[in-house]
Amino acid sequence: MRDQYILELLNDLSRLLDKYQVGPWSEKIKRLRSTYQQAILNNHQQDKYSALEEIKDLFGGMGSFNDYTITHLHGDCIDESQEQEANMLLNNLRHKLADVASSQP
């Protein structure tokens, strides 16, 4: 159940970032989702653990995914009037992912 929830959150984040053409972060999220999914399908616990560590690393340090905002000022394809709503959704998904990735299985 936890694994499926993590995959869903990664998928939701990827779709949101794709919607506004946030390329680098979207590609990283997609890669992590693929890696995590393959580890689950192949029942490789070490690969799954490594992918979870990479997911947790998204949220630490300056310039991390945690710091990113969707904005036309970064060149994202979004109207200024949509930024607040998009970033509220982004923050909600990030918080959920950080919480579940850091929780015990």
Examine the pLDDT at 17 and tell me if it is beyond 80.
yes
Question: DSSP states of 53-80 as a string?
Answer: HHHHHTTSSTTSGGG----GGGT-S--G
Examine the pLDDT at 104 and tell me if it is beyond 90.
no
Name the one residue in this structure whose structure tokens are 């310039």. 63
- 40, 51 Cβ separation under 8 angstroms: no
pLDDT band at 85 (very low <50, low <70, confident <90, very high): very high
* Rg over CA atoms, the chain: 14
In which domain, by residue range, is 63 found?
2-102
pLDDT of residue 79: 96
Each as own residue / partner, the long-range contacts of residues 56-64 (CB below 8 Å, 24 or more positions apart, any chain) are: 56/98, 56/101, 56/102, 58/28, 58/32, 58/97, 58/98, 59/94, 59/98
pTM surpassing 0.95? no
Q: Give the number of domains in the chain.
A: 1
pLDDT band at 62 (very low <50, low <70, confident <90, very high): confident
Question: Average pLDDT in the 43-70 region?
Answer: 92
